[in-house]
Chain A
Amino acid sequence: MPELTRRRALGAAAGAAAALAVAGTAAAAAARKEHTAADPASFDEVYKGRRIQGTPSHGGGHHGGHGGGYSVHIDGEELHVMRNADGTWISVVNHYEPFATPRAVARAAVAELQGADLVPLVTV
């Protein structure tokens, strides 16, 4: 129950930030930036037979060096995710299509993977 409350609170904050951003003022931009720093709640579930987990993370664990504050795993392997300025999310397997939440992006990745394992990426 406390988790639900927290999620609801974050949702309200994100909604308010979005409304302010539409106003387009400098204050709104600052407020939005502040709210974006707050991470969505953790999740842990089995989706289509695979364990998907998400949790706020502060530094470390990301192989892409993008500085994201949230990490997502599928069956224990990290899924590279990124948050857009408007609060939506993408992952390395759906990199051109934003989703509303990290859980939605994790579920989309499971669908896209069709049972395949994630592998650590080769980066330069």
Chain B
Amino acid sequence: MTVRKNQAQLTSTEKRRFVDALLELKRTGQYDTFVTTHNAFIMSDTDSGDRVGHRSPSFLPWHRRFLIQFEQQLQAVDPDVALPYWDWTADRTAASSLWAADFLGGTGRSRDGQVMDGPFSAASGSWPVNVGVDGRTYLRRALGAGGRQLPTRAETDSVLAMSTYDAPPWNSASDGFRNHLEGWRGVNLHNRVHVWVGGQMATGVSPNDPVFWLHHAFIDRLWAQWQARHPGSPYLPAAGTPDVVDLRDTMRPWNDVTPADMLDHTRHYTYDAAA
């Protein structure tokens, strides 16, 4: 059974095997298909039209399925690898071991944002950015640029306290847990973390930075924690909503999985500590 661990608790061997599996998916071209898929959804999900991956109730089940698929690809390379999660309420500075040279590498240099150390630096030769929005083919970051702050534990708890999953109009204007977690309203959790990292993470091709998976694994864990706190609160909407994925509607691009299928993560993996 796959156990997803806090990245801060990984052994050096676990870090190395995770990194090696990422580099292998990159080498074979499989990695970039995930970047392409994510960008296609982020550009086509709109508040007034069809929306599946973002700015809609299915933001959480869609990313859960997306991460499961990615984790399965990693495990095809190395069966002992699981996606770690980054608790950015605890590891909230660029000095965190997450950004050390033996794991994800650090922030970008000021001149051009280029990441200069770690396995994903351009100098390593193993991490070309092929699916990009501009001509730059190197990984970029600007961790905490401009004095930006990651969400605090108290801010995160305030969102976990929201008992309604989602609400009309089921988009970036909604009240409820999903949109506050996604960050279009209120204290802003998920979106703010993308912006804090900067570089490709702030763009539609955000999975170019491997921290994408660790960020979304933590968002996924917060969903599980929310479910544990509000056992009587269902996924919404239940049925009959135009442009939106209802509980038993299938989700693109897989077309064989529904939000209902994704509600219980323990069928696929567990977390190192109880939700």
Contact = CB atoms under 8 A, between A and B. Distances in A.
Contacts of B205: 92
Interface in A81-124: 82-86, 92-98, 112-114, 116-119, 121-124
Interface residues of A, number: 34
Given A64-B40, A114-B112, 19 more contacts: A33-B48, A63-B43, A84-B55, A85-B172, A92-B42, A92-B204, A93-B133, A94-B202, A95-B194, A95-B202, A96-B190, A96-B191, A97-B191, A97-B202, A119-B133, A122-B131, A123-B39, A124-B36, A124-B40
B172 A86 contact: yes
A118 B134 contact: yes
A16 B192 CA distance: 28
B187 interface: no
Contact of A80 (B136, B183, B195, B204): B204
B183 A123 contact: no
A96 B202 contact: yes
Interface residues of B, number: 38
A29 interface: yes
A48 interface: no
22 contacts: A36-B48, A64-B44, A66-B44, A66-B49, A67-B49, A84-B172, A85-B171, A92-B39, A92-B43, A92-B203, A93-B204, A95-B194, A95-B202, A96-B183, A96-B191, A114-B112, A116-B136, A119-B134, A121-B39, A121-B133, A121-B204, A122-B36
Contacts of A80: 43, 133, 204
Interface of B: 36-37, 39-40, 42-49, 55, 112-113, 131-136, 169, 171-173, 183-184, 190-192, 194-195, 202-206, 253
A23 to B, nearest CB: 14
A2 interface: no
A93 B192 CA distance: 15
Contacts of B36: 122-124
A33 B171 CA distance: 13
A95 B40 contact: no
Contacts of B113: 114
B44 A117 contact: no
Interface of A: 21, 29, 33, 36, 63-68, 80, 82-86, 92-98, 112-114, 116-119, 121-124
